[in-house]
Amino acid sequence: MTSLSYQTKPAPHGTANICLGCWDQMHIPIPIRGPLALPFRAFGITRSKMNPNICTICERSFRYVKKQRHIAADATILFADIRGFTVLAERMGVVELSEIVSIFHDRCAQAIWAHDGIVNKQMGDGLMAIFNFPIKIRDHSSAAIMAARDIQQRCAAALDSLEFDLDGLPGGALGVGIGIHTGEVEIGEFSSFRSDFTAIGGAVNLAARLESQAAAGEILVSAEAAAKAPVLVADTEVRRLSLKGIEQPVMAQVLIKM
Amino acid sequence: MTSLSYQTKPAPHGTANICLGCWDQMHIPIPIRGPLALPFRAFGITRSKMNPNICTICERSFRYVKKQRHIAADATILFADIRGFTVLAERMGVVELSEIVSIFHDRCAQAIWAHDGIVNKQMGDGLMAIFNFPIKIRDHSSAAIMAARDIQQRCAAALDSLEFDLDGLPGGALGVGIGIHTGEVEIGEFSSFRSDFTAIGGAVNLAARLESQAAAGEILVSAEAAAKAPVLVADTEVRRLSLKGIEQPVMAQVLIKM
């Protein structure tokens, strides 16, 4: 049993002095660190929870940043969740469960931020990340795949050190499943009462469906994302998948945690 | 085809002058409307996006409100999503898609707020609501079931009026699926970089699994939630379900949109 005083703190990640999102989207320098950031903080403009290198203007004022309610954008979407979490939740105490969820979210965020992605949504034992908005990334498919490998490594190291009794789990393993797809998505505000942006569209759903098919330790990368990151998917298995709601079979590269 | 200038605005809901969450949890009156709310607003304390009758203290300062990182609580959890959304996303333009998502989120929020629940998480075409925290509700199972019926009615009315060509959809219907379960959940902050609270635990996962089995227009209510709201589930079908990750078959009452 692990110590309950275990605290999860994000490790230091790249630190920008101006908001990378506002710079990439509008070429406006918004200070987010150092003394120049203080007057902005007084007006409620601070670092975003989605990524500490972007600011709350990017996060909450999409219409101000893009002059539209939503835009089409080329992006890579990553979904991750804890495999077998329903089984875990049935068998494990809530304190252990909450510790696992905390570790998962913190390690995922560190990995995603290290590759300039944003943690757009968190829901229970799962999350959705966006690469290439608002921080522009030339090769966002590769950034997402590298972040995914990083998630697998960080989560495995942290979860292994917990030493919970996992004998009752299917496969005996506590692990993370990840799905990645690159394509055109619609980014913007889709709720009149929440102002944080998100992404929707067929490409988002495909990434979510891939994640739902990934076993513990697996990263399923769609053919479209893989084609843009050939070096990272070289010599990996190709799997043919039937995904709910998608008529044609989908081919995905399977990256497995070493 | 519907007009693209269609705007979704939440209808007026019950309006409290003090935060109902801070009052129910701490017996502290925090003004959220009227002139007394102005000085609070200057310090960033305003109405929450989760429910406009609670404030950002409840939303973001769980540790201040409860003096702990997380607590066990008896609550009712409601999951809702748009059935066949992956198929829709494959076949529909993003503008129509974003309109459907906006309508869904706005109508759901109106229904949930009308019964004192909170919209805790929104993710693409789905959401999770909590009843009995932070606003206390004596009969939270009934409140959630009434909110669910309200969601079905409001969404059906709004989606019907869109008149999209839905002939290609399985079943030809665009509708919402809902799952409801009552039980002990763990409520608190489970991420060191996001401060908004959420609920986790087996009871949360069961509600999510029920939702995943609900067809368009259906509300699946667990036996535990149904037992606390006998009048609302009288004369409804009982369905035996095999849910992913849950060993025993689960019995649920099936409420169908009239």
Domains of chain B by start residue, with CATH: 66-256 (3.30.70.1230)
Give B125-152 pLDDT, tens digit per residue.
999 999 999 999 999 999 999 999 999 9
CA A125 to chain centroid, in Å, comes to: 12
User: Among A22-31, A220-229, B49-58, B156-165, which is the least confidently predicted range?
Assistant: B156-165
Give B97-107 pLDDT, tens digit per residue.
888 999 999 99
* DSSP 8-class letter at A151: H
Of B258 and A188, the structure prediction assigns the larger pLDDT to A188
pLDDT of residue B176: 96
What count of other Cβ atoms lies within 10 Å of the Cβ of residue B167?
A: 6
What count of other Cβ atoms lies within 10 Å of the Cβ of residue B205?
A: 26
Q: State yes or no: pLDDT of A57 exceeds 90.
A: yes
Report yes or no: B198 at the A interface, CB cutoff 8 Å. Answer: yes
Q: State yes or no: pLDDT of B251 exceeds 50.
A: yes
Q: What number of C-beta contacts closer than 8 Å exist between A and B?
A: 154
CB < 8 Å from A in window 113-142 of B = 121-125, 128
In Å, how far is A65's CA from the nearest CA of chain B? 19
Mean pLDDT of A124-137: 96
pLDDT of residue B3: 35
In Å, how far is A159's CA from the nearest CA of chain B? 15
- Please state the ipTM of this predicted complex: 0.86
Q: Which residues of A touch B202 (CB under 8 A)?
A: 86, 89-90
In Å, how far is A233's CA from the nearest CA of chain B? 26
* DSSP 8-class letter at A63: H
Q: State yes or no: pLDDT of B67 exceeds 70.
A: yes
Task: Tell if the CB–CB gap between B200 and A49 is shorter than 8 Å.
Answer: no
Q: Which of A91, A123, A194 to mutate to test the interface with B (most CBs of B within 10 A)?
A: A123
Q: Are A223 and A252 in contact (CB under 8 A)?
A: yes
In this complex, the residue of A84, A98, A128 whose CB is nearest that of residue B186 is A98
In this complex, the residue of B72, B105, B202 whose CB is nearest that of residue A89 is B202
CA B141 to chain centroid, in Å, comes to: 13
CB < 8 Å from A in window 74-113 of B = 84-87, 89-90, 94, 97-98, 101-102, 105-106, 109
Q: State yes or no: pLDDT of B13 exceeds 80.
A: no
Check residue A173 and give left, alpha or beta (phi > 0: left; psi -120 to 50: alpha): beta
User: Among A87-96, A169-178, A201-210, A231-240, which is the least confidently predicted range?
Assistant: A169-178
pLDDT of residue A124: 87
Q: State yes or no: pLDDT of A9 exceeds 70.
A: no
Q: Which of A81, A191, A241 to mutate to test the interface with B (most CBs of B within 10 A)?
A: A191
Q: State yes or no: pLDDT of A4 exceeds 80.
A: no
Q: How confident is the model at residue A43 (pLDDT cuts 50, 70, 90)?
A: confident
Q: How confident is the model at residue A258 (pLDDT cuts 50, 70, 90)?
A: low
Mean pLDDT of A168-183: 81
pLDDT of residue B1: 33
Of B244 and B79, the structure prediction assigns the larger pLDDT to B79
Give the closest residue to B160 by CA, choosing from B230, B227, B216: B216
Mean pLDDT taken over chain A: 89
As a whole number of angstroms, the distance between CA B167 and CA B94 comes to 18
In percent, how much of chain B has pLDDT > 70? Answer: 90
pTM: 0.90
B197 residue type, one letter:
F
